[in-house]
A and B are shown apart, each in its own frame.
Chain A
Amino acid sequence: MICQRCKQREATGYMEKTINGLKTRIYVCPDCFKQAQLEMFSSFGDVGLFSGLNVHGGGIKCSKCGTTLREISDTCFVGCQNCYTELSEHLKPILRNIQSAAMHIGSGPNSESVDEVAELEAQLKKAVAEENYELALKLQERIRQSKGGAR
Chain B
Amino acid sequence: MNENIILSSRVRLARNVDGVPFKGINSASIATRALNALREQGSYMMHSINSLTGLEQTRLVERHLISKELIDCQGSAIIRDDNKVSVMVGEEDHIREQCILPGLHLREAYAELREIDRAIGKEFKFAFNPSFGYLTSCLTNIGTGMRASVMMFLPALALTDSIGRCIGGITRLNMAVRGVYGEGSKAEGYVYQISNQKTLGISENDIVASVENVATHMVESELKAREALMQVDPEGLRDKILRSYGIICNCYTMSKSEFMELIAFVKLGVYYNILSCSDHAALEKIITDVQPASLCLGQGRRLDVGERDKVRASICAKIQQIVCRIGG
Q: List residues of chain A with CB under 8 Å of any chain B CB.
A: 1, 9-14, 27, 29-31, 65, 72, 76-81, 84-85, 88, 91, 94-95, 98-109, 113-115, 117, 147-150
Contact = CB atoms under 8 A, between A and B. Distances in A.
Contacts of A98: 139-140
B204 A107 contact: yes
A72 B140 CA distance: 12
Contact of B178 (A12, A80, A99): A12
A115 B23 CA distance: 35
Interface string B117-142: 01001000111111111110111101
Nearest to A11: B164
Interface residues of B, number: 52
Interface of B: 16, 18-19, 21-23, 110-111, 114, 118, 121, 125-135, 137-140, 142-144, 146, 164, 167-168, 171, 174, 176-179, 183-184, 186-187, 192, 198-205
B130 A104 contact: yes
B203 to A, nearest CB: 5
B200 A104 contact: yes
A76 B138 contact: yes
Contact of B187 (A12, A78, A85, A113): A12
B184 A84 contact: no
B212 to A, nearest CB: 14
A110 B144 CA distance: 13
Nearest to B175: A13
B20 to A, nearest CB: 8
Nearest to A99: B200
A10 B201 contact: no
Contacts of B128: 108-109
Contact of B143 (A29, A91, A99): A99
Given A27-B164, A88-B131, A99-B198, A107 B137 contact: no
A94 B139 contact: yes
B300 to A, nearest CB: 34
A3 to B, nearest CB: 11
B133 A106 contact: yes
A30 B203 contact: no
Nearest to A12: B177
